[in-house]
Amino acid sequence: MEKNPEADRAFAKLASKFVILHFDTANGRAPHVGLLKVKRNQTYALVLRPDGTEIDRIEKPVELKSMVSLMKTSLKEKRPLDEKPTHL
């Protein structure tokens, strides 16, 4: 984690409400990466609705604090599709 313990605690508190995935695009594309409009060898933090549409993104996140802010913002947005979330 990072040097900011407050951001660490905030991330840990919010992480249970999200599915965190990693798609490696270094040696080709993982399935569905093309639909996310991402570049190869680039780091993104994306928040998606259950139907796969994008809520928001951060390109090249360098601090956990910015990711916590992204997660909080996405939880505040009203999303009718999230009332019955699908679990993988």
The closest alpha carbon to 72, from 21, 17, 31, 28, belongs to: 17
Cα separation, 40 vs 20, in Å, equals 19
Cα separation, 44 vs 39, in Å, equals 9
pLDDT of residue 28: 64
For residue range 25-80, what is the model confidence (pLDDT) as tens digits? 666 666 677 778 887 778 888 888 877 788 889 998 888 888 888 888 888 875 55
Give the pair of three-digit tokens for residue 28. 């080709």
The mean-pLDDT minimum among 2-6, 8-12, 25-29, 59-63 falls in 25-29
Find out whether 47 and 74 touch, Cβ atoms under 8 Å. yes
State if pTM tops 0.75: no
